[in-house]
């Protein structure tokens, strides 16, 4: 199992920056995929960014060039640096950890952190 705790959300003006953190209960290098998802009111949860144990990183087209996902193995923490924030980035952001097994996959979620972009 993996427990995840997010932090760093808040209210920011358009064009501003925020850094989200996600602390995991185990070494992030032992987690197959870690990702950030978001869910805006009335919309489905969507993938924002993900990083694999091999170091590969994927980003949603809507955040490419503005958001950067990174990890710190010494702190068992992943981060999402968000720059150039737009009102449409407003959502609850969730951290996800995915473990792969021979018979399938297991997903673990944090409690979510609210990001509001507004003037």
Q: Which residues contact 55 (CB under 8 A, 6 or more apart)?
A: none
Nearest to 60 by CA among 52, 71, 69: 69
> How far is CA 5 from each of CA 22, 29, 106, rounded to the nearest angstrom?
5, 17, 17
What is the rounded CA–CA span in Å between residue 13 and residue 118? Answer: 5
Q: What is the pLDDT of residue 53?
A: 84
Q: Which residue stretches of the chain are H helix?
A: none
From first to last of its 119 residues, what are the pLDDT tens digits of the chain? 899 999 999 999 999 999 999 999 999 999 999 999 999 999 999 999 999 888 789 999 999 999 999 999 999 999 999 999 999 999 999 999 999 999 999 999 999 999 999 99
């Amino acid at each position: 199992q993996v427990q995840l705790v997010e932090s760093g959300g808040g209210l920011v003006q358009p064009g501003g920056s925020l850094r989200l953190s996600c602390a995991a209960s185990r070494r992030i290098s032992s987690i197959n995929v870690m990702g950030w998802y978001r869910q805006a009111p009335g919309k489905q949860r969507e993938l924002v960014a993900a990083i694999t144990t091999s170091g590969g990183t994927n980003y949603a087209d809507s955040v490419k060039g503005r958001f950067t996902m990174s990890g710190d193995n010494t702190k068992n923490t992943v981060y999402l640096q968000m720059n150039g924030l737009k009102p449409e980035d407003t959502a609850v952001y969730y951290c996800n950890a995915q473990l792969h097994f021979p018979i399938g996959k297991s997903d673990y979620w944090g409690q979510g952190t609210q990001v509001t972009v507004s003037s």
